[in-house]
Structure 1
């Protein structure tokens, strides 16, 4: 019998490749996607170029601005008294509280006065003896004067009696003076406050030996209401200020009646204004400055002697001042200041400006702009000189103490660059 044999070799199964099967479909889809993307770019181009960029602008206006000079200074007590003993002795008591307010004439120390009381008693006895001797000699002089009239005594005896009486009167005067000195020294044993004010620490304790008119003070009293503020101003600044006055750029204020504002070391403003007392007329050889002094009320005792403060002294009045926010000013590589303005055709222009001085968060403009021009305040990153823009007015909210346009409402304010100036921009969805 013939047996049929099978071939058990594995048979390879052949499947069609996906790309081969769907190659036509993929190529068609890719072509369609590229075509749609090209159409989308063409459709989006008009949207990206829908109109000129919007920028926030302010319209410059002139205003009257008082100019202040910020000068460094130190506070000084209006009265200072160093307390020293005027007699020698042992301190028995300290009669005040350190750091407290004391009155004029208040007792501060008590020195052992037993020796002084004995000296007073001795002076009183010496005066009594001188008075008794003077009474006897004066009586003798009167009798001799009567006897001389009847030639009962010689002229020599008369003259000697008169001289003795006069000498007795002189001795009595010396005794009175010694007694007064003894009483004064006794009063000096009780050391009193020469002025009213705040007293400092005591340099001695009970039991210490003190001597009259010693070098070291027992304590110090300072009067702090009012306080003096001594500050300095550069002679160059004074000369430049006078040139500005002469040129008519600023109106001069009455310096003798000038009010002085004080700024503390932490940057806060002191509550009370001072008055300029005098201005020194001699320039310091080493520093080139002139010293000025202001008298400042100090009822709460906030100011203490030796504090560092800043004095804001009014120096002039600019009647037609142009003030621009510091955030609107840029500087080129050479350091020259410039701003962006929008002209009458709504085209951005780059304008160089000259700045006079900083006034808070703003610059006082010297030249480069005129009133009525529109200054770019917002949207710098979206425009460049020569671009057509859509200017949108913004309202500035000035910092406290600065003169400027009316403040904007709190809604919609957002700070810029930490300059203390806020810009009010239209809210989302609000009509433009």
Structure 2
């Protein structure tokens, strides 16, 4: 029987290149902002305490109302202080009367002493008595002034303009001099401070970028600060940085920065949790890629997949600065014209030839959102 020869089978057809979406890197100007958590703090706050002791006779303010500096808040029983003031005035009159008598005697002794009609000792004693009388008058005047101050302090007045809180003591309460418990708290709400904590690493980065020209100050707006409230709404007024602490907190490694905001409607209250957006400046040659493009290897190093001139996949290690919206800001590793793969990443491997399809910004954002 003749042998039948084996037919050689044709190889399977090659798979077509995998389609991938890419975006082309173009450096562009990017406004950079740092969002920092913080809390509001009163511009001024006075904890009112009594300067003299006594019984509160009446309250003269409405709780939660706006008060003016010098406005009466409480009346302490003035009777004992009025009596002390009247007594001090009487002692002054007594000292002035005694001084008048001594001064008249001294005026009579002066020519007699010159004529040796009275002894020098008598004249010196009278002169000494006149000086003591003048000292008694000065002391009496000081006592009157002190008694007057204590009498005035029976009227507890607001030291600043602001809004007063709830009533902390009621009429009939005995208060004492120098007590630690406040009897009223007055807070000035407009303007208001916002204190935020900035990590020292961020502070060093900002200073370094400004020094080497990577960031350019935005003119008069460089120190402007925006504010996001607890309900994610934007505060309508802009603030400005006023100061930063000169000492870093060693326990947290942060630096306190303080911004001042206008608060005409008293929407912001001390102690509120907010987010401050600090305008750092403008990066004139920022390179950003959609967040979906960034991958990490087994060592945790970030990288992106790029297309070579032959439309092959290559790995490109990068350095990431921060997230900006839906993108990553790349500080090193990419240059203008690089084609970064943003779609079909899971279906390709380095070295594979692919079919590139350029993506628009809208499509790449949609791919990231998906």
Question: Normalization by structure 1: what TM-score?
Answer: 0.71
Deviations 1:274-299 (A, max 9, x none): 22222333222322222222222222
Distance in 1 separating the partners of 2:126 and 2:221: 70
C-alpha distance in 2 between matches for 1:110 and 1:366 = 66
Which consecutive residues of structure 1, in runs of 5 or more, have no partner in the other structure?
A: 1-48, 398-412, 420-432
Question: Is 1:326 paired with 2:291?
Answer: yes
CA pair 392-324 structure 1, distance change in 2 beyond 3 A: closer
Q: When the two structures are aligned, how many residues end up with a matched partner?
A: 356
1:103 equivalent to 2:71? Answer: no
1:126 to 79, 91, 99: 91
Give the Cα separation in 1 of the matches to 2:95 and 2:145: 15
Aligned equivalents of 2:25 and 2:337: distance in 1? 5
For each residue in 1:374-411, what CA deviation from the matched residue of structure 2 results, as whole angstroms up to 9, or x when unmatched?
445556678777454363552449xxxxxxxxxxxxxx
The 10-residue stretch of structure 1 (244-253 or 181-190) with the greater mean CA deviation from structure 2: 244-253
**Secondary structure of the corresponding residue to residue 249 of structure 2:** coil
Q: For 1:377-392, list aligned pairs within 5 A.
A: 377=342, 386=352, 388-389=354-355, 391=357
Pairwise CA RMSD of aligned residues? 3.3
1:243 to partner: Cα distance: 4.5
Structure 2 counterpart of 1:281: 246
CA deviations 1:2-43 (Å, max 9, x no partner) are: xxxxxxxxxxxxxxxxxxxxxxxxxxxxxxxxxxxxxxxxxx
2:193 is matched with 228
- Paired position in structure 2 for 1:363: 328
Q: CA deviation at 1:350?
A: 5.6
C-alpha displacement at 1:209, in angstroms?
A: 0.2
Q: CA deviation at 1:93?
A: 0.9
| 2: CA distance, partners of 1:235 / 1:351 | 30
Is 2:297 aligned against 1:306?
A: no
Within 2, Cα distance between the matches of 1:277 and 1:265?
23
Distance in 1 of aligned mates of 2:340 and 2:41? 46
Provide closer, same or farther for how the CA distance between residues 176 and 248 of structure 1 changes in structure 2, counting only shifts above 3 A.
closer
| Paired residues of 1:257 and 1:276 also in contact (CA < 8 A) | no
* CA 1:414–1:229: 2 relative to 1, 3 Å: closer
Contact 1:348–1:389 at 8 Å: present in 2 too? no
Pick the aligned partner of 1:60 from 25, 33, 38. 25
* Alpha-carbon displacement from aligned partner over 1:291-327 (angstroms, at most 9, x marks no partner): 2222222222222222233333344542211122223
In structure 2, distance between residues paired with 1:393 and 1:184: 80
Output the CA distance in 1 between the equivalents of 2:244 and 2:131. 59
Higher Cα radius of gyration = 1
Q: Deviations over 1:219-272 (max 9, x none)?
A: 222222222222222223333444445555445779996223333344433322
Structure 2 unaligned regions, length at least 5: 1-14
Q: Distance in 1 between matches of 2:342 and 2:252?
A: 41
Aligned-pair CA distance for 1:58: 4.0
Aligned to 2:228: 263
Deviation string 1:338-396 (CA, Å, 9 cap, x unpaired) is 44555666666664433221122221112333223444555667877745436355244
**Paired residue for 1:69?**
34
Query: Please, what TM-score do these two structures have when normalized by structure 2?
Result: 0.82
Please state how far the C-alpha of 1:414 moved relative to its aligned partner: 8.8
Match of 1:79 among 12, 26, 44: 44
Question: Residues 290 and 368 of structure 2 are in contact (CA less than 8 Å); yes or no, is this contact kept in structure 1?
Answer: no
Partner of 1:171: 136
The 2-side partners of 1:293 and 1:69 are apart by 14
